[in-house]
């Protein structure tokens, strides 16, 4: 997989709330932060391409709107999240793309009992054979049936499946800054991973240099490469967003508590449009 195809990397100076949005502003700034898309990659030996991935991708700017403030609370040990995990986990899958020399993986969510899967467009944008691994460990062939690069979403149809449990989406106005959220997916290839945190801001914007993702949810739940396309859910087990990018500090590619997700209302609207394309 050519990592230069994935443009969701940028560097911003520390404490800069409204950085410049000129796409020519691409230099690495010492002590700054990097924003990167969350697909994981590996060569024939299965090693993950992390720092290489970060250094090769272009670096557009990241900005925010001023409509929300960041909450500073945290999840307490009294929160019983296990029932939510048990409910949602069967609806989370790993999406794999195996190319001739390299492979990549991301996450996805089940939309239908017969294996229609939602993931990020950047997860399936590389050349290769697509497959889906269920939470049970079973891996089945799949194919991309529709994609929207502008919103970074795609639909994948897994074959030979029935009886899957689709996710349920929340409405954007039912979640607020400070709400507890859980992130599901396969960070760094570690399938079946769940992390918790809060919804820390709304209405964030990411400028990729080619498209601009707006209205994003920000969370401090730990998410990393491989979480792309996974679910961010509320304490009712409803999907409030689809994980798409994180911010990292300096040369690190790990989570520093700044993750971004495409909000549920945007997701459901795009999914309806993609399904209409399939049916037409």
Q: Which residues form the catalytic set?
A: 122, 152, 228
Phi, psi for residue 189 in degrees, rounded to 5: 85, 5
Q: What is the DSSP string of 96-134?
A: EEE-SS-EEEEEEEE-STT-EEEE-GGGS-SSSEEEEE-
Residue 237 three-state SS = coil
The answer to whether the CB of 198 falls within 8 A of the CB of 76 is no
Q: What is the 3-state secondary structure (H, E, C) of 125-173?
A: CCCCEEEEECCCCCEEEEEEEEEECCCCEEEEEECCCCCCCCCCECCHH
Instruction: Report the C-alpha gap between 198 and 73 in whole angstroms.
Output: 8
Residue with tokens 């760094």: 188
Q: CA–CA separation, 147 vs 257, rounded Å?
A: 29
Point out which residues pair with 181 in neighbouring strands: 197
- The CA distances from residue 151 to 86, 267, 269, in Å, are 29, 8, 11
Name the token pair of 158: 């897994």
Q: How far apart are CA 93 and CA 95, in angstroms?
A: 6
144 neighbors 267 (Cβ within 8 angstroms): no
What's the start-to-end Cα distance of the chain, in Å?
A: 31
């Amino acid at each position: 997989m050519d990592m230069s195809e994935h443009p969701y990397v940028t560097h911003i100076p520390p404490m800069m709330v409204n950085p410049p949005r000129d796409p020519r502003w691409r230099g690495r700034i010492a002590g700054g932060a990097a924003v990167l898309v969350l697909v994981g990659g590996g060569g024939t030996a299965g090693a993950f391409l992390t720092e290489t991935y970060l250094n090769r991708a272009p670096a557009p700017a990241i900005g925010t709107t001023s409509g929300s403030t960041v909450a500073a609370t945290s999840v307490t040990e009294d929160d019983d999240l296990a029932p939510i995990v048990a409910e949602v986990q069967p609806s989370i899958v790993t999406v794999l793309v195996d190319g001739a020399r390299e492979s990549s993986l991301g996450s996805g969510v089940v939309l239908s009992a017969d294996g229609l899967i939602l993931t990020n467009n950047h997860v399936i944008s590389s050349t290769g054979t697509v497959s889906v691994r269920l939470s049970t460990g079973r891996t089945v062939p799949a194919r991309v049936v529709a994609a929207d690069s502008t919103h970074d979403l795609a639909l994948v149809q897994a074959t030979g499946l029935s009886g899957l449990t689709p996710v349920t989406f929340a409405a954007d106005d039912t979640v607020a800054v400070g709400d507890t959220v859980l992130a599901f997916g396969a960070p760094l290839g570690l399938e079946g991973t769940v992390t918790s945190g809060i919804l820390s801001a709304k209405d964030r914007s990411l400028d990729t240099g080619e498209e601009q993702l707006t209205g994003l949810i920000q969370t401090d739940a730990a998410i990393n490469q491989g979480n792309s396309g996974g679910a961010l859910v509320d304490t009712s087990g409803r999907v409030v967003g689809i994980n798409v990018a994180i911010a990292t500090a300096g040369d690190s590619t790990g989570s520093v508590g700044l993750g971004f997700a495409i909000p549920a209302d945007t997701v459901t609207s795009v999914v309806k449009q993609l399904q209409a394309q399939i049916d037409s």
